[in-house]
Copies of this chain bind each other. A is one copy, B any other.
Amino acid sequence: MKEKIAFIGMGIMGAPMAQNLLKSGYPLTVHTRTKSKAQAILEAGAAWADTPAQAARNADVVITCVTDTPDVEKVLLGEHGVIETARKGAVCIDMSTISPEATQEMAAALKKKGVQLLDAPVSGGQIGAIEARLSIMVGGSKETFEKVRPILETMGKTVTYCGPVGYGQMTKLANQVMVIHTIMSIAEGLCFAEKAGLDMQTTYDVTCGGAAYSHSLKVLGAKILAGDMKPAFRVDLQIKDLRLVMDFAKKISQPLPGTKLAMELLEKLSEQGRGKDGTQALMDVIRQLNRPKESRTEA
């Protein structure tokens, strides 16, 4: 028999992920801060819960997919939180991208109640969530992971066990370190080409065809050429992830000067009110550096 699932968080990622669970026949109860965001899935047959505690009451598996560390802490451990009602033997799967250390602390708190926590952050964006093609990076008990693997495979194409609790988050953060550099590669590379007066399509085709190739160049470079700043991933969420990176990097004493620089440049974009643009907007920050002396940052 399929596990009863509670799903908390109906954002642009959570909503389609929950839909895929429902389609696969899992009995589903949902909760999210703004009930209107759950309307589609309620119409599709999910049950509604007024609080995380109510959602978790009869669940075998509780999935959280919210924004940041404090959101997960509130949902799992706060007032009317999952911990108040989760039964012994239940499994929590947190699919948000949050702090690895906070994850480990929450796992310890839940364990006292006999509840296992897996961290399972995802990569692949909204399209990946809709098409159930997410990459899911999982930390926690290997045994528990194997137990819930079919549930994860309902939402993702590549489900990878990364190690003990928190290791899914660490892997996601390493991934985000790499991603931001590939975004920097198009921001600086295409700005250089543009300012040099090169034909942008030719430059894109040539660089995509060789050693400079990256997923970001292909996808976000094409958006830049089309003048499209709509988000595949939002600037403000990228900044949130890079803050998690820099906090953890500090903890493990690993300076990351390039990531730090990229984050500062993204923060400029955010200060300009462009937090909801896609990360390809980083190109505009590099464009702006090229300005009269009094208003520009030396580089």
Contacts and interface: CB of A to CB of B under 8 A. Distances in A.
B160 A211 contact: no
A210 B125 CA distance: 10
Contact of A195 (B123, B193, B206, B253): B253
Given A214-B215, A256-B188, A193 B171 contact: yes
A271 interface: no
B259 A261 contact: no
Name, among A180, A181, A202, A209, the residue most crowded by chain B CB atoms within 10 Å (CB to CB): A181
The range of chain A's interface size is 35 or more
Nearest to A167: B198
A247 to B, nearest CB: 12
A39 interface: no
A221 to B, nearest CB: 9
A188 B181 contact: yes
Given A178-B212, A179-B212, A255-B286, 4 more contacts: A135-B209, A179-B211, A191-B254, A257-B265
B254 A175 contact: no
Nearest to A164: B197
30 contacts: A125-B211, A162-B206, A167-B198, A170-B193, A174-B190, A174-B193, A174-B203, A175-B210, A177-B185, A177-B192, A178-B188, A178-B207, A179-B212, A181-B181, A181-B184, A181-B189, A182-B182, A185-B185, A188-B259, A192-B254, A195-B253, A211-B216, A214-B215, A255-B286, A255-B289, A255-B297, A255-B299, A257-B261, A257-B297, A260-B299
A290 interface: yes
A195 B162 contact: no
Contacts of A135: 206, 209-210
A196 interface: yes
B171 A178 contact: no
Contacts of A249: 192, 195
